[in-house]
Amino acid sequence: MAAMTDEDKIGQLLVAVVYGGRADSARKENQARYGVDTPAEVVEKYRPGGVILFNWADNVSDAKQVAALTTGLRKASDTPLMIGVDQENGIVSRLSPLITELPGALAIGSTGDPGNARDSARVTGEELKALGISVDFAPVADVNINPRNPVIGPRAYGSDPQKVAAMVGAAVDGFHDAGVATVAKHFPGHGDTAVDSHTGLPVIKHSMAQWEKLDAPPFREAIKRGVDAIMTAHVVMPKLDPSGDPATLSHKILTGLLRDKLGFDGVVTTDALDMAGVRKKYGDAEVAVRSILAGADVLLMPPDYPTAYKALLKAVETGRITEQRLDESVLRILRLKKARGVFGPIETDPGALKSSEHLKVAKRLKAAARSAA
């Protein structure tokens, strides 16, 4: 890390969206966002710490194509590149139908057997790894205690905090069995909302005691199992932080609660910064800086990447973000990458998808979920 410039370090904090199915795909969306044509050129120009893949960005068409894309992106990067995806299974499945189809979290949770959560995560992780993907932004650690929740619902393992905690812990183990980094989300809890943070800013009025009982158990269990990263929620919890800022921008929540109280020293990533919930109070440049000052390490999908990059660089140059604070985040990110093999050679094997063993696991899990319904 000693040889890294400030520009190198700031790049590590950012996860970009790129458009196209090949590293050399020229797309107008890349030109509009980044001033270059291809995914490879985005990586070469901005040296991001990571890239996240999406169907809507035309990153996903078939297994060989995804494997070639991840390989091409890594070749374009002069630092180890973390490639991630939201593959929760169920209703959030960015890689369907390429990979083994598994039940969603609620169906798995209904079986009452944490071993099923572990098996599901292992199968998913092994197939992601075969595609050159090193991090899954899963599992959902929210406890879905509000039946009107428009954004979590069946993405959660259920409505009982202790049962959800057992499932989340098992899922973390399963991803680690596969050698893939795992991200518990959305801290400090998105389960008791009636507003979607993609389109608005939810307010959750839990007291600290209620939070400890209802929201905290799955995150505590994930931390106990060595979860690699925790994703923030764009929700306001006024009894945890009266400032009115969403948790993503709250030092009291990310540093005071997550780091100090829960003892988490892994990577903290924001939820996507293009969501409305985090953009209501501050401009995009200020959101980027405040996220880091609050305690985040990784900024996921800033809506204006060059603006976020320049804002962070200026904040470091002026001392608003100290070199020590910057180095803390970079060290955590590099430590995660080393732990999950991102520094070494990454071999893809698209033929490993939908193996007979994986299909047998899927069949068993679907049968268990049907029996529990």
Catalytic residue among 37, 192, 271, 297: 271
Sheet holding 181-187, edge to edge: 267-269, 229-232, 181-187, 135-136, 82-85, 50-52, 14-16, 299-300
Collapsed DSSP state (helix, strand, coil) of residue 224: helix
Length of the chain: 373
Active site residue 251: no
Active site residue 8: no
Whole-angstrom Cα distance, residue 168 to residue 325? Answer: 30
Closest alpha carbon to 63 in 366, 360, 352? 352
Contact 68, 39 (CB under 8 A): no
Whole-angstrom Cα distance, residue 14 to residue 10? Answer: 7
Q: Which distant-in-sequence residues (6+ apart) come within 8 Å of 41 by Cβ?
A: 30, 34, 76
Catalytic residue among 6, 160, 177, 198: 198
Collapsed DSSP state (helix, strand, coil) of residue 356: helix
- Alpha helices per DSSP H over the chain: 6-12, 28-34, 39-46, 63-76, 105-110, 114-130, 161-178, 208-214, 216-224, 251, 284-294, 305-318, 323-339, 356-372
Which residues are the active-site residues? 198, 271
